Amino acid sequence: MFDIRLSQEQREFQQLARKFAQEEIKPKAMALDREPEWEKRVPWDLLKKGSQLGFRTFVLQEANGGSGMSDHLTSCLVAEELAAGELGTAYYFMLTARRARDWFELRMTPEQKAYFIPRFVGDDLYFTTVAIHESETDFGFDYFTETPDNVRWNTRAVEQPDGSWIINGTKAFQTVGYLAKLIVTRAQTPAGVQSFLVEGDAPGLTRRPLSKLGRRVGDNAAEIHFDNVRVAKGRIMPPPPKGRTDMGTHPTIAALTLGLGRAAFEETLKYTQERVSGGKPIIKHQAVGLAIAEMAMNLQAARRLLWTAAWVKDHPEAIADGSVENLPYEHMALAFTGTAVQRLTEQAIELFGGAGVIQGMPIEKYVRDAHVQKHVSFPFPVPA
């Protein structure tokens, strides 16, 4: 039966994430965003404390050092709360958490699990990324399509006589790529594309951070260069188990975008209640009130579609028994949320007037962050 009521455990973890985001992450966000050097924008203390609270490992089973909350709805709840505090910081926790469950528990071999899980759980600053993008090829990355079986990557892996592999090539635009301690690298082999488990300190691996317009705090995308990087025998990660629907990061990414939108909305609501024009708060003017109402409606609609997508992802039987119509909910949620938040931030900066474009105003940061999310959430063009 279709039922997305939150459990007591989910509500408690949601509140924990909200408290951490609002009391710890958000107060430091603006100052970190303005730091000119990327190293100073990494919130090391927040990353360590958030890890200790479980935001990096909660999706793992308790036997593996997690909380056992591996469902996508819980991930969406946490992602929205952390991103409402600060988007880039939230990316560190949430993409690492979702991938940890998929990689460490569902895909790795027993030998790989024995090696990587203790390292992951025991290090509060052990974050991960996936190296896929190759900007110099004609292969684009599209969240709405599957990777074609006949794609050929420029990044190559060649097997050595001792069973190890040598990787050469370059990847670009990898989220959290500069600091990740585990990089799952997609590389071409004679048998097809394989996923290699590359450790961040591997000799021959060099990384260059890319400073972006928005989402500047913590999350530094990177170019990753592989120059004869040797990967030990037995470090090819198996493909995803066939038939599973509860893997991947689409709902989590949509929830991160939703959290950004909520933060922008809350800041705009506060401003319109305080800013006086014509003898009354501007929210009392009909045009402003209607804009605020539209923003609130779109946020709630995005959240409902996202929760549906997350729940269905974990309950494929609901489609089989007819409880839920068979639709591409996660792609719908990703696109709709991206569109809604893009529209919302544009409305927000209009309502702030001239104050909205002044550096140091939160809404200016949210607009820049939303522009970066254009390349993640793939919103549809927003009509004027």
Q: What pLDDT score was predicted for residue 146?
A: 59
Together in a domain, 105 and 174: no
Q: What pLDDT score was predicted for residue 383?
A: 47
CA separation for the pair 174, 38 (Å, rounded)? 15
Query: Does the residue 382 lie in any domain?
Result: no
Query: Does the residue 2 lie in any domain?
Result: no
The CA-atom distances, in angstroms, between 87 and each of 255, 264, 291, 297, 300 are 10, 11, 24, 22, 19
Together in a domain, 294 and 217: no
Domain containing residue 169: CATH number:
2.40.110.10
Q: What pLDDT score was predicted for residue 36?
A: 87
Determine the structural domain holding residue 77 and report its residue range.
8-126
Q: Are the C-beta atoms of residues 223 and 170 closer than 8 Å to each other?
A: yes
Together in a domain, 47 and 92: yes
Q: What pLDDT score was predicted for residue 246?
A: 77
Query: Does the residue 225 lie in any domain?
Result: yes
Q: Which structure tokens are listed for 243? A: 């038939």
Together in a domain, 116 and 133: no
Strands 128-131 and 192-199 turn out to be unpaired
Query: Does the residue 338 lie in any domain?
Result: yes
Q: Are the C-beta atoms of residues 53 and 71 closer than 8 Å to each other?
A: no
Q: Which structure tokens are listed for 129? A: 């990324």
Together in a domain, 58 and 106: yes
Q: What pLDDT score was predicted for residue 208?
A: 87
Q: Which of 253, 175, 179 is nearest to 221 (CA)?
A: 175
Together in a domain, 373 and 273: yes
* pLDDT tens per residue across span 8-37: 999 999 999 999 999 999 999 999 999 988
Q: Are the C-beta atoms of residues 292 and 268 closer than 8 Å to each other?
A: yes
Q: What pLDDT score was predicted for residue 22?
A: 98
User: Which one of 181, 208, 237 terminates a domain?
Assistant: 237
Together in a domain, 183 and 138: yes
Per the DSSP assignment, residues forming a β-bridge with 169 are 226
What amino acid is encoded at 303 in this protein? R
User: Which one of 183, 204, 237 terminates a domain?
Assistant: 237
CA separation for the pair 131, 237 (Å, rounded)? 13
CA separation for the pair 157, 232 (Å, rounded)? 12
Together in a domain, 136 and 117: no
Domain containing residue 100: CATH number:
1.10.540.10
User: Domain tally for the chain?
Assistant: 3
Query: Does the residue 243 lie in any domain?
Result: no
Together in a domain, 51 and 28: yes
Q: Which helix (H) or strand (E) holds 231?
A: strand 222-231
Together in a domain, 217 and 264: no
Q: Which of 251, 215, 265, 266 is nearest to 377 (CA)?
A: 251
User: Which one of 126, 151, 174 terminates a domain?
Assistant: 126
Please list the ranges in the chain whose pLDDT falls under 50. Answer: 138, 140, 143-144, 383-384
Domain containing residue 307: CATH number:
1.20.140.10
Q: Are the C-beta atoms of residues 69 and 200 closer than 8 Å to each other?
A: no
Together in a domain, 33 and 96: yes
* pLDDT tens per residue across span 200-239: 999 999 998 887 888 888 766 778 999 999 999 999 999 9
Q: What pLDDT score was predicted for residue 305?
A: 96
Together in a domain, 295 and 284: yes
Q: What pLDDT score was predicted for residue 249?
A: 87
DSSP 280-313: EEGGGSHHHHHHHHHHHHHHHHHHHHHHHHHHHH
CA separation for the pair 32, 313 (Å, rounded)? 35
